[in-house]
Structure 1
């Protein structure tokens, strides 16, 4: 007589909450290394130029190769979680990032460093969407504002501590420590995940990878990001090195959308999810955040270094108040999102961001750092009140099967929006700097002031889609 295996009893609500919290701490530890890595490597670009005796345009591929590799694997993250399980893919991603970090620390020339950074990007590209998928599933889509406040904690710590840590390494240690610092974090994250993450439940049916979709979508993202990355090098969008890859990327993306509409839910990314208004609006806002958030992240360090003559380390320390402001509103924004919905929280947060950005349009060559710190706290508080509710809204009304698709979609929109935002702001700043008649710091500061005005205009534009975010009807 064949006996069926007895199913495990369902967890009690309290046990489920405890298991979900434990999962969150495990995931947060694992995401620290890639978040710190990006900001630390950005700070060390000039150091790497000197160490490898090469040009900025060549060493820039240390960042570009990583970002393109990261973008290429994002579309397969949802399929990989469904096919192999979240635990397996989380461990695989951490191991790939660890391997890439070890190899980068041993690089003997710039070519090997670029190659190993590309390998590292595979792990980094998978980690964030997998984290979002596992976290949202663990909590069953409930109280997403509060959950996103927890998920976002490492993302807020990265911009605060990364530039400072990068500055210390650049000033006092070998460039190899840029990658050495990842190793203990990755090892600890792998051990904790191996012991603490629940075993994957094997799917009865094997999910096939949508190869045609992958061959359309991954090159589309890579070409688009590459083209946007070339904007600053060629001082505009009108150069063939920019237009050709961007147009090719957009064309491939359009073909993928047509293909995915026919393929339905079996496509690599289910584009039919854009019928869900909350996901569509959230994706639009994540794209626009590239013009408001990432653009300003480019401007502030440049202002401190080019106008004020500060070092990399001091510039990183002076940006800490913005991260503190984001931390201050993190929990409140998450709580209010669950209570009153994301729409009012994002609208207020956007207005607060505008108020905190306006004084940056009046910066001079001798603006008080105390004043700048106070302004950045206000601006950071606004950004913290925008990002979390937008991310939480992306998952409203989605089934467990749709969550991996949403995680991949939001990451793609963030990556493309960030690249587009940096490109646009860089061009605006360059045009403003070209109009400066004298290299006087006060005149250069005016160029930054005018560019900050554009970030305010983009923030005002974001108020339109924010008005369509969901709100809770009592």
Structure 2
């Protein structure tokens, strides 16, 4: 059974202190994980120069992290439920720190990519268990507020990632984007082992066939999404990978329905809040990550900004993800999750339409700054509400499983979003000139708006719940 800090005989002040340390530890760990998903993009020029990397190798420097991250998420959640969430979370932090050393000291791009794969594996053993540990530590009445703080701290990575990457490019010392993870990892490991209580899910054996099929299926779909725009969507490699992934996931679902101790109990999907919020986060992160991918390039290719200036220009967009989730977290218990999900993604979609209307070479920054703030606000309204909808719709013993499913859908959504927006971009534009890039950028942003609308529609299925 899940251990919670609401233990008999523990003074309220001590319970509050324990919760605070859990919140600090898990939030900081999530910040580091999300930061490393974003920071590399604006450091690619320096990496290319120093390591002589090709364009394909640079692409894999970004994608290798997300690939291993998504493939191992469900496995990490299952292992944490069985062997202890704190123990597995600590192992993830240690793995992430070691992998960061490999990346920072990489003598060639092949070693860097291998280090990024290992980093993604460590991240996969951090994120779902961070959410599970946090949710187990806070009672239902306090949980939405804690999730709001968690989302705000994670959100710091959105403005900080591009800015830090740009600063590193300007300074010409890209390994420091990885070296900084080493002391942070040491601090987080100490806090985890001394300040966080252990919790577990159902006491059951790890579903090895389920782990293999879930990992194979996710790998197949992620590989197809990543390679589709390079190898061609109709190529044997991409089609075969997608078919193999879908087949493996089909077998996984069939096996879970028959297993005595399933890795992902299918009855969780009977809860409308759980199912709808997972669809929401897929569309939410697909739109947000895909638009960020192109917005950073538009500022540089379309408007002529340098990497550091582009990072600074994205700050207003990202800063909303620091402030707004805390406000949402304090109000979800009163109003429920649905209004924040629907309104947030609706606002994000409208802001993207605004950006698409004004995006052209030489457009003034103020013309896009306002819709950027509105877009970031919408994204920040949605995230903590979606997290709350998933984690409050399952019994405490399924928190790790629910967290893993939620995190996996987020990573898959990010890969899907970039892939789909690239299709929109290449269909109408390219890199030959700023005018051509702007045409493609407009199509990509409109595609992102479509994903946001789909997420908002899914959010209407989240049920109302009793006020806490």
TM-score range, shorter chain: over 0.9
Where do residues 253-402 of structure 1 align in structure 2 (5 Å cutoff)?
253-264=249-260, 266-362=261-357, 363-402=359-398
In the alignment, the residues of structure 1 paired with residue 119 and residue 439 of structure 2 have an alpha-carbon distance, to the nearest angstrom, of 39
In the alignment, the residues of structure 2 paired with residue 461 and residue 192 of structure 1 have an alpha-carbon distance, to the nearest angstrom, of 40
Of residues 431, 437, 444 in structure 2, which corresponds to 1:451? 444
What is the Cα deviation at residue 12 of structure 1? 4.5
Q: Secondary structure at the match of 1:394?
A: helix
What does residue 4 of structure 1 align with? Answer: none
Q: Secondary structure at the match of 1:267?
A: coil
In the alignment, the residues of structure 1 paired with residue 159 and residue 136 of structure 2 have an alpha-carbon distance, to the nearest angstrom, of 29
Q: In the alignment, is the contact (CA less than 8 A) between 1:283 and 1:410 conserved in 2? A: yes
What is the Cα deviation at residue 462 of structure 1? 2.4
Q: 1:390 to 1:432 in 2, by over 3 A?
A: same
What does residue 205 of structure 2 align with? Answer: 208
What is the Cα deviation at residue 318 of structure 1? 0.8
Q: Secondary structure at the match of 1:54?
A: coil
What is the Cα deviation at residue 13 of structure 1? 4.7
What is the Cα deviation at residue 397 of structure 1? 3.2
Calculate the aligned-residue CA RMSD, in Å: 2.1
Q: 1:291 to 1:190 in 2, by over 3 A?
A: closer
Q: Secondary structure at the match of 1:471?
A: coil
What is the Cα deviation at residue 432 of structure 1? 0.9
Q: Secondary structure at the match of 2:396?
A: coil
Q: Which moved more, 1:385-394 or 1:290-299?
A: 290-299
In the alignment, the residues of structure 1 paired with residue 203 and residue 347 of structure 2 have an alpha-carbon distance, to the nearest angstrom, of 48
1:441 aligns with 2:438: no
What is the Cα deviation at residue 156 of structure 1? 0.6
CA deviations 1:25-78 (Å, max 9, x no partner) are 122223332222222222222322222223111232223332222223211222
Where do residues 12-27 of structure 1 align in structure 2 (5 Å cutoff)?
12-27=11-26
Q: Secondary structure at the match of 2:131?
A: helix
CA deviations 1:75-117 (Å, max 9, x no partner) are 1222222222222122211111111111222222222222222
What does residue 27 of structure 2 align with? Answer: 28
Where do residues 147-186 of structure 1 align in structure 2 (5 Å cutoff)?
147-186=146-185
In the alignment, the residues of structure 2 paired with residue 367 and residue 332 of structure 1 have an alpha-carbon distance, to the nearest angstrom, of 33
- Larger-gyration structure (1/2): 1
CA deviations 1:187-246 (Å, max 9, x no partner) are 221222232223x3789x963211111111111111111110012213x52222221111
What is the Cα deviation at residue 275 of structure 1? 0.8
In the alignment, the residues of structure 1 paired with residue 447 and residue 143 of structure 2 have an alpha-carbon distance, to the nearest angstrom, of 32
Q: 1:305 to 1:201 in 2, by over 3 A?
A: closer
What does residue 4 of structure 2 align with? Answer: none
Structure 2 residue ranges without an equivalent (≥5): 1-6
Q: In the alignment, is the contact (CA less than 8 A) between 1:37 and 1:182 conserved in 2? A: no
In the alignment, the residues of structure 1 paired with residue 360 and residue 450 of structure 2 have an alpha-carbon distance, to the nearest angstrom, of 21
What is the Cα deviation at residue 319 of structure 1? 0.8
In the alignment, the residues of structure 2 paired with residue 43 and residue 202 of structure 1 have an alpha-carbon distance, to the nearest angstrom, of 39
CA deviations 1:299-349 (Å, max 9, x no partner) are 211211221122222111111111122334222222221111111222222
What does residue 223 of structure 1 align with? Answer: 220
Of residues 430, 451, 460 in structure 2, which corresponds to 1:467? 460
In the alignment, the residues of structure 2 paired with residue 460 and residue 85 of structure 1 have an alpha-carbon distance, to the nearest angstrom, of 39
Q: 1:354 to 1:298 in 2, by over 3 A?
A: same
In the alignment, the residues of structure 1 paired with residue 203 and residue 336 of structure 2 have an alpha-carbon distance, to the nearest angstrom, of 38
Structure 1 residue ranges without an equivalent (≥5): 1-7
Q: In the alignment, is the contact (CA less than 8 A) between 1:325 and 1:376 conserved in 2? A: no
In the alignment, the residues of structure 2 paired with residue 227 and residue 356 of structure 1 have an alpha-carbon distance, to the nearest angstrom, of 30
Q: 1:429 to 1:13 in 2, by over 3 A?
A: same
What does residue 3 of structure 2 align with? Answer: none
TM-score (norm 2): 0.92
1:424 aligns with 2:408: no
CA deviations 1:232-273 (Å, max 9, x no partner) are 213x52222221111111110011000001115x12222221
Where do residues 61-210 of structure 1 align in structure 2 (5 Å cutoff)?
61-198=60-197, 200=198, 207-210=204-207
Q: In the alignment, is the contact (CA less than 8 A) between 1:336 and 1:345 conserved in 2? A: no
In the alignment, the residues of structure 2 paired with residue 442 and residue 112 of structure 1 have an alpha-carbon distance, to the nearest angstrom, of 37
Q: In the alignment, is the contact (CA less than 8 A) between 2:28 and 2:154 conserved in 1? A: no
Q: 1:337 to 1:202 in 2, by over 3 A?
A: closer
Q: 1:470 to 1:307 in 2, by over 3 A?
A: same
Q: In the alignment, is the contact (CA less than 8 A) between 1:35 and 1:154 conserved in 2? A: no
In the alignment, the residues of structure 1 paired with residue 239 and residue 9 of structure 2 have an alpha-carbon distance, to the nearest angstrom, of 55
| Segments of 4+ moved more than 6 angstroms | none
What does residue 3 of structure 1 align with? Answer: none
TM-score (norm 1): 0.91
Q: Secondary structure at the match of 2:448?
A: helix
CA deviations 1:284-308 (Å, max 9, x no partner) are 1111124421221122112112211
- What number of residue pairs does the alignment pair up? 460
In the alignment, the residues of structure 2 paired with residue 396 and residue 404 of structure 1 have an alpha-carbon distance, to the nearest angstrom, of 12
Q: In the alignment, is the contact (CA less than 8 A) between 1:345 and 1:386 conserved in 2? A: yes
